Homo-oligomer: A and B are copies of this chain.
Amino acid sequence: MAAPSFPPGIPTSSPTASPTTSGPLSYEQAGVRYELIDPLKVAAQRAAAATAAHLAGHGFAEIAASRGESAYVVDVGPFHLASIVECLGSKVLVADAMKELTGRCHYAAVAQDTIAMAVNDLVTVGATPLVVQAYWAAGGSEWFEDRERAEALVAGWKAACDRCRVAWGGGETPALAGIVEAGRIDLAASCTGIVQPKERLSLGERLGPGDAIVLLASSGIHANGLSLARKLAERLPRGYLTEVAPGVGYGEALLAPTTLYSPVTEALWAAGVRVHYAANITGHGWRKLLRHPGRFTYRLHTVPPVPPVLSFIAREAGHDAADAYGTLNMGAGFALFLPADQAAAAVSVAVDCGVPAWVAGAVEAGPKRLMVEPLGLQFDADAMILR
């Protein structure tokens, strides 16, 4: 989710809705009610924008184009400052359910997911993440009694920081009985970074026809679409234990930790690749490729392989391609828009970082539209109204 854009948040399941056992499963059925949050979002965006003037009093200025993008950017003189706060969402509920079913603890994985939510958004603006703060709000002190779980959370958090080369500055671990449900935890992360040199800023000013689109592989569902995935589990006779591929259970597959893309974006800069724009493919799936405010046509000739857990979800939810690609990442967790003559180098850098990547298409002059040619799929401008 994009911090400065007041996004509608992680889709939520309505606990009172009874699961249907057949027919397509829509986001509305999974409890997502964007219309209730959007008026607040608009009011908050307006109020937040009005506060930017305060920066002048300190001798600084916001980068106005960062409002509505994935991290908020301020010009502080020698470089830009980028900051963000991000929530993991409901993936912990899958981890909790799997613990009950299998006894296995997945909190190291969800720790990585939480950091990925923050870091992967922060790097879209061209920032190097420097400091992460942990926000772990438990339903009560008792949450921390499970030492294996608490230690996994710490270990997974540290490992993700190590992978992203960020300093873990500290954090907040409130016990919030009466606010957070007993036995649950709400995981979030804030991240601060800098854009240095300033020309590394990738808010899309340089995006234009002729640019290549490089897609970076996802590791699975990442941390978006979990409400839908959880709702689906209720329909399945074997629930999270259903096989999505030989020997791979649904719950286990859902809990594959989100790919961390900052090692790739750092390596790209170091290799001289100049990214014009980047999109973290989270909620709303590939519609995020339409995130840039400009009017361009994005034509894709290549699509990455779909992780089995995502094709399983799409099939079981009765999604057609438009539903699936408009909701889930379908194998592409991050998109880079860059000069065509650097696309092959970008793929090579990503692969060297252990992240499969593809030169998937190009930006063209034309109406705002995403065309996924191998699938005969098209998303128009109004498919991405949520920035």
Contact = CB atoms under 8 A, between A and B. Distances in A.
A8 B173 contact: yes
Interface string A166-186: 111111111111111110111
A179 B93 contact: yes
A247 interface: no
A74 to B, nearest CB: 6
A170 B60 contact: no
A1 B174 contact: yes
Given A158-B47, A169-B83, A150 B40 contact: yes
Contact of A44 (B40, B78, B171, B190): B171
How many protomers of this protein does the assembly include? 2
Interface string A230-249: 00000000000000000000
Interface stretch (A50-58, A299-307, A311-319): A50-58
A165 to B, nearest CB: 4
A172 B12 contact: no
A79 B76 CA distance: 10
A6 interface: yes
A148 B380 CA distance: 35
A151 interface: yes
Nearest to A165: B54
A173 B11 CA distance: 11
A107 to B, nearest CB: 12
Contact of A58 (B140, B165, B170): B165
B168 A47 contact: yes
A382 interface: no
Give the one of A12, A34, A45, A151 with max B CB within 10 A: A12
B12 A141 contact: yes
Contacts of A180: 179-181, 186
Contacts of A32: 141
A175 B54 contact: no
A348 interface: no
A286 interface: no
A3 B182 contact: no
A204 interface: no
Interface string A66-95: 010000101011110101111101101100
Contact of A167 (B34, B74, B86): B74
Among A50, A54, A176: residue with most chain B CB under 10 A: A176
Contacts of A198: none
B130 A60 contact: yes
A1 B170 CA distance: 11
Contacts of A142: 33, 36
A342 interface: no
A298 interface: no
Interface in A11-33: 11-15, 31-33
A178 B54 contact: no
Interface in A126-167: 128, 130-131, 133-135, 137-138, 140-142, 144-145, 147, 150-151, 154-155, 157-158, 161-162, 165-167
A261 to B, nearest CB: 17
A13 B50 CA distance: 38
Given A1-B172, A48-B158, 8 more contacts: A32-B141, A47-B158, A48-B167, A51-B166, A81-B131, A83-B133, A178-B184, A179-B184
Interface of A: 1-15, 31-34, 36-37, 39-41, 43-45, 47-48, 50-52, 54-55, 57-58, 60, 62, 67, 72, 74, 76-79, 81, 83-87, 89-90, 92-93, 128, 130-131, 133-135, 137-138, 140-142, 144-145, 147, 150-151, 154-155, 157-158, 161-162, 165-182, 184-186, 188, 190, 192, 194
